[in-house]
Amino acid sequence: MKAGRVIGEVWATRKARGLEGQKMLLVALEEETRVIVALDTLGAGPSDRVLVSWGSGGRNVLQSGSDNRQKLCDAAISVVVEGSSEGEGEHDVHR
């Protein structure tokens, strides 16, 4: 998983089969200069800090089990982070 922050949303009237009804968000990855598109089933919103799962992990967010190979997904939001701790202190992610 990689941490990032939601910076926008992607809209499309035409999508590949299997993506109908899926919400697509733009996520700026922490400690990287990349912005990626991740599918969202958790209701993440603008400025939310999220963890993104990749590859088969991303597919498992959409549908768990070994029969998900037909799911078109390379990245999916698996956690909406409310807080975290590092060492001795806790950190509020809503900065």
Q: pLDDT tens digits, the chain, 95 residues: what are they?
A: 999 999 999 999 888 887 888 899 999 999 889 999 999 989 999 999 999 988 766 666 666 666 656 666 788 899 999 888 876 555 555 44
The pTM score is 0.79
Residue 85: predicted pLDDT: 80
CA distance linking residue 7 with residue 14, whole number of Å: 22
Q: What is the pLDDT of residue 95?
A: 43
Alpha-helix residue ranges (DSSP H) falling in the chain: 56-62
In 2-88, DSSP assigns E strands to: 2-10, 23-29, 35-40, 49-54, 75-80, 83-86
Distance CA 27, CA 87 (A): 26
Q: 90: left (phi > 0), else alpha (psi -120 to 50), else beta?
A: beta
Residue 50 pLDDT: 96
**Structural domains of the chain ordered from first start:** 2-83 (2.40.50.220)
